[in-house]
Amino acid sequence: MTKIAYLRSHSLSNDATYAHVASKMDIDNFIDYMVTNIYCANTDWPGTNIYYWKPKKGGKWQWIFHDMDFGFARYSDIELPDGTVVDSTENYDALGMATATDGQEWPNPEWSTLILRKLLENPGFKTKFKNRLLGTLNTTFAPSRVKGIIDNIANQIESYMQRHIDRWTVNGEYSYVVHNLQEWQEQVDRLKTFADKRPTIVRSHVSQHLP
C-alpha cells in the first residue's frame, strides 16, 4: 500500500495511526511549510511548486519552499480555470484553499490538500497546527518584524534600482511592473501594507476553518 493510499484509507483521528504517519514525515517541518505559504497568500500553490525530500537511508520526508513569487499580494486577483475571479491581495484565503476538497485543477486539486486535511483529523495535530499558525502571526510574521525586514532589504538595494531599471528598459518599455523609482517605492509600500493587514485576516480564516 502506498503512503497516499494509507492516508486515504485510514482515519488519523486515531493516535496510533497518526503516530505511524508522523514516523514517516517531519511534522514540525510540514507545519512550518504550510504556515508560511498560508501567511504569504501563495496563490500558485498547493497544487504546484511542491518540493519535498528525504535521505535515501532513514530519515523523514521534509518539505522545501519553492517559487513563492505569487505571494504577498503580487496580483490584485487571479482567475481560476472556471472563470471565477479570486481576490489574491492580503484577503486571499490560503487556508481555505489548502484544506478544500473540491478545488480546481489549479491551484488546489483534491490530491494537493490531502495530507493537511488528513492530519487535521487528529485533535493533537490540529491544536499544534493552529497554535503554530496563530503564534507566528505574533512573532515571525508580526507586522513590525516583517516591515523591518522589508525596509532593511529595500535600503540595501535602493542605490542600485535606477541602474536596474535602466538595464531592463528596452525601447522605452521596462520588462516588469516598475518603470521608475516612484513605482518601485509603491511596490515596496504594497509589501508593507500586506504585512500590516495579513495577520488579522489570517486569524479570521483560522476561526472559519479551524474552529
Q: What is the pLDDT of residue 173?
A: 62
Higher pLDDT, 3 or 83: 83
Per-residue pLDDT reduced to its tens digit, 37-92: 999 999 999 999 999 999 988 899 999 999 998 999 887 788 889 998 888 899 99
Spatial distance between the Cα atoms of 10 and 196, rounded to a whole number of angstroms: 41
Location of C-alpha cell 525530500: 53
Enclosing H/E stretch for 17? helix 15-22
pLDDT tens digits, one per residue of 90-102: 999 999 999 999 9
The C-alpha atoms of residue 13 and residue 195 are separated, in whole angstroms, by 35
Compute the 3-state secondary structure of the chain and give helix, strand, coil in percent, each to the nearest 5.
Answer: 55, 10, 35
Model pLDDT, residue 75: 79
Query: What average pLDDT does range 167-188 have in this prediction?
Result: 79
pLDDT at 2: 64
Half-sphere exposure of 30 (CA within 13 A, CB side): 23
Q: Name the strand (E) or helix (H) holding 21.
A: helix 15-22
Considering only the C-alpha atoms of the chain, give the largest distance between any 2 of them, rounded to a whole number of Å: 64
Please give the Cα distance from 193 to 89 (Å, whole number): 10
Q: Is the pLDDT confidence value at 121 over 90? A: yes
10 Å CB burial of residue 161 (0-12, 13-18, 19+) is: middle
For the segment 156-183, the average pLDDT, to the nearest whole number, is: 82
Handedness of CA 38, 44, 45, 50 (dihedral sign): negative
Tell me the C-alpha distance between 80 and 57, whole Å: 40
Percent of the chain with pLDDT over 90: 77
SS3 123: helix
- pLDDT averaged over the chain? 93
